A and B are shown apart, each in its own frame.
Chain A
């Protein structure tokens, strides 16, 4: 089994980033306030990102900053200021969605790694080649891609590949859903002049999870708009064989304890897979993962209720 794969964990706060690195993550990703695909609550002001950079550097680990909203064309200047700042602070990589922004960041700082966010939804080999040609280093694969597709991409395109271990699949392809902002969308600026675009997961990271409302069809039957937990556990050995470069755990919005537990779990599994290969008792790990997944689901469901309720208060529906 190939050992050199990066285990990437979320840093929804300084404490979470530190806990994840201690639990065995090789790198953490954090969201710059107003610029990432999560709400402000789970993003960090620049000063805290700088602290995490120092902390990680002391541990010999890496930090990636997500600036992966589809920000306004009028915010391009602000974006470049952020890029300058983070590059100077020694951030290892930027996670971006806008191709024009990727191109500009790479032109400015050729040594800074640019990661294509899952929100950009790179779906095929030609997509990956496009991104490679504009200077991108790593692409986060959408959960929809099969292990075969990921294998094909690794064989034919010279680009780093990052996959989710633990995530959710949206009703639509990730990054291509406007349902939340269709029902509730507010322009809200912060002190730096960044618009947080409340209600838009693509622009501000705030998703009201409209797909989880109680939708009915014309015949009176309940309609299920799929939005399921994605666990790549069974794919893991195949990902490693395919040469995947980075394994990502999603969840800046979860509790620090839960993130620590998830990181420890995957660290232990990866280390054992590296040492023992196919001799690992995957069934025992699966049983452990199912317990973790229950806790994660409970935290997610609680948040779903809260964010949906905010829209319901404006326009009554049945949740």
Chain B
């Protein structure tokens, strides 16, 4: 019917959070292999995690390091070789070299292309499908019609982020270690909030995400009825409460939508989501606007409908 997934970076989060709202979990943190307890950097943790996730009747996808250099290739290949006997459902790769590696190794898993791979066109999705990629996570910078175009013009499934901070970049070094004293164990789980006037960003080490939470709750029905079925909530460096609460709200909403119900936003949903998002909400780029804006009826959004287009846009489309 539909799939709701998220990333679970560490064994600790896997044990602590109630993951019942999710159908599938991407295990491992793709942003940095040095994240303490990162499931995708440690075979023993991976085995335990796969057992736990599969034992809960969920799909389990191994999320690999997003920006591997030459020095990372041997350990990733070793991990994949050993992981090939595990009952994983897919691996998530963000790097075309790792797509090639997986193809060369004839792994028994599907390949999902992650967000940091920068997929922008259906032709790239088609090319990668021939190399074993069955699902793609298009760049967040694409509009809804572009994402839909990729979905309808390539054989791959398309994942759509519906809530959580937008991945805005991945760096070579760790920003947190550069700015705070201590080891990875000391500082990794304390993200840096960055502000500049009204702007906000959140840095989680090597990756930078939006300060605001992307929220598509009020558009969920429309997305579902357009044909989207693979939904993702971004929860890296969020608390177990965040993971549970957001997952529960969206799972419930999606189930209502699938049953044909129009009223799927619960009375307490807005308040609960707001509590978890100190810097507010945005819609990302789906409606052809700057990523930080929120357009819509909820959360004091800008009062233009997403389908409203400017004069210039209208003349172009005419």
Measured CB to CB, the closest approach of chain A to B205, in angstroms, equals: 12
With A and B bound together, what is the CA distance between A176 and B171 in angstroms?
Answer: 8
A70 / chain B contacts, CB cutoff of 8 Å: 118, 120-121, 139, 141
With A and B bound together, what is the CA distance between A76 and B150 in angstroms?
Answer: 12
Contacts known (A99-B124, A124-B69, A178-B168); A73 close to B149, Cβ less than 8 A: yes
A126-168 contact mask (Cβ, 8 Å, vs B): 1 or 0 = 1111110110000000001100010011000000000000000
Contacts known (A124-B69, A178-B168, A185-B291); A221 close to B179, Cβ less than 8 A: yes
B192 / chain A contacts, CB cutoff of 8 Å: 217-218, 223
With A and B bound together, what is the CA distance between A221 and B175 in angstroms?
Answer: 14
- Say whether B140 faces chain A, with CB atoms less than 8 Å apart: yes
With A and B bound together, what is the CA distance between A74 and B208 in angstroms?
Answer: 29
Inter-subunit contact A187/B100 (CB<8 Å): no
Option from B101, B125, B139 in Cβ contact (under 8 Å) with A126: B101
Binds A, one of B193-201, B235-243, B254-262, B296-304: B193-201
A185 / chain B contacts, CB cutoff of 8 Å: 141, 285, 289-291
Contacts known (A103-B123, A123-B67, A183-B290); A172 close to B171, Cβ less than 8 A: yes
A166-183 contact mask (Cβ, 8 Å, vs B): 1 or 0 = 000001110111110111
Measured CB to CB, the closest approach of chain A to B102, in angstroms, equals: 10
Inter-subunit contact B292/A182 (CB<8 Å): yes
- Say whether A72 faces chain B, with CB atoms less than 8 Å apart: yes
Minimum CB distance partner of A217 in chain B? B192
Measured CB to CB, the closest approach of chain B to A202, in angstroms, equals: 7
Inter-subunit contact A217/B193 (CB<8 Å): yes
Inter-subunit contact A125/B316 (CB<8 Å): no
Contacts known (A125-B70, A129-B100, A176-B118); A103 close to B127, Cβ less than 8 A: yes
- Say whether B122 faces chain A, with CB atoms less than 8 Å apart: yes
Inter-subunit contact A73/B122 (CB<8 Å): yes
Inter-subunit contact A218/B146 (CB<8 Å): no
A68-109 contact mask (Cβ, 8 Å, vs B): 1 or 0 = 001111101000000000000000000000111101100000
Inter-subunit contact A176/B170 (CB<8 Å): yes
Contacts known (A98-B121, A129-B100, A181-B291); A173 close to B172, Cβ less than 8 A: yes
Contacts known (A185-B289, A187-B288); A213 close to B196, Cβ less than 8 A: yes
Inter-subunit contact A218/B169 (CB<8 Å): no
B76-118 contact mask (Cβ, 8 Å, vs A): 1 or 0 = 0000000000000000000111111100000000000000101
Minimum CB distance partner of B147 in chain A? A73
Measured CB to CB, the closest approach of chain A to B15, in angstroms, equals: 28
- Say whether A193 faces chain B, with CB atoms less than 8 Å apart: yes
User: What class of interface size applies to chain A in its complex with B?
Assistant: 35 or more
Option from A71, A104, A130, A177 in Cβ contact (under 8 Å) with B120: A71
With A and B bound together, what is the CA distance between A151 and B98 in angstroms?
Answer: 20
Minimum CB distance partner of A172 in chain B? B169
Binds B, one of A25-33, A41-49, A254-262, A311-319: A311-319
Measured CB to CB, the closest approach of chain B to A235, in angstroms, equals: 17
With A and B bound together, what is the CA distance between A224 and B203 in angstroms?
Answer: 12
Inter-subunit contact A126/B98 (CB<8 Å): yes
- Say whether B210 faces chain A, with CB atoms less than 8 Å apart: yes
B137-180 contact mask (Cβ, 8 Å, vs A): 1 or 0 = 00111100110011001000000000000111111110100110
Option from B97, B121, B142, B171 in Cβ contact (under 8 Å) with A173: B171
Inter-subunit contact A182/B166 (CB<8 Å): yes
Option from A126, A178, A184 in Cβ contact (under 8 Å) with B97: A126
Inter-subunit contact B179/A217 (CB<8 Å): yes
Inter-subunit contact A315/B141 (CB<8 Å): no
A144 / chain B contacts, CB cutoff of 8 Å: 172
Query: How many B residues touch A, CB cutoff 8 Å?
Result: 64
Option from B121, B124, B194, B316 in Cβ contact (under 8 Å) with A189: B316
Contacts known (A175-B118, A316-B198, A317-B198); A100 close to B127, Cβ less than 8 A: yes
Minimum CB distance partner of A127 in chain B? B97
B124 / chain A contacts, CB cutoff of 8 Å: 98-101
Contacts known (A70-B118, A70-B120, A216-B195); A127 close to B126, Cβ less than 8 A: no
Inter-subunit contact B146/A72 (CB<8 Å): yes
Inter-subunit contact A100/B141 (CB<8 Å): no
Inter-subunit contact A130/B290 (CB<8 Å): no
B186 / chain A contacts, CB cutoff of 8 Å: none
Contacts known (A103-B127, A223-B194); A202 close to B141, Cβ less than 8 A: yes
Minimum CB distance partner of B125 in chain A? A100
Most chain B CB atoms below 10 A, which of A104, A130, A144, A171: A130
B70 / chain A contacts, CB cutoff of 8 Å: 124-125, 149, 152-153
Option from A76, A149, A179, A187 in Cβ contact (under 8 Å) with B121: A76
- Say whether B21 faces chain A, with CB atoms less than 8 Å apart: no
Measured CB to CB, the closest approach of chain B to A128, in angstroms, equals: 8
With A and B bound together, what is the CA distance between A23 and B140 in angstroms?
Answer: 42
With A and B bound together, what is the CA distance between A293 and B281 in angstroms?
Answer: 42
Interface residues in chain B, defined as those with a beta carbon under 8 Å from any beta carbon in chain A: 67-70, 72-73, 95-101, 116, 118, 120-128, 139-142, 145-146, 149-150, 153, 166-173, 175, 178-179, 192-199, 201, 208, 210, 285, 288-292, 312-313, 316
Give the 7 A-B CB pairs with smallest separation, nearest first: A100-B123, A126-B97, A317-B197, A172-B169, A100-B124, A127-B97, A182-B291
A-B contact pairs, 16 of them (CB 8 A): A72-B120, A72-B146, A73-B153, A99-B124, A101-B124, A122-B96, A123-B97, A149-B69, A171-B171, A172-B169, A177-B169, A178-B139, A179-B208, A189-B312, A223-B194, A315-B198
Further contacts, 15 of them, CB under 8 A, given A70-B139, A178-B141 = A70-B120, A71-B121, A122-B96, A130-B99, A133-B100, A172-B168, A173-B169, A176-B116, A176-B118, A182-B166, A183-B291, A183-B292, A315-B197, A315-B198, A317-B199
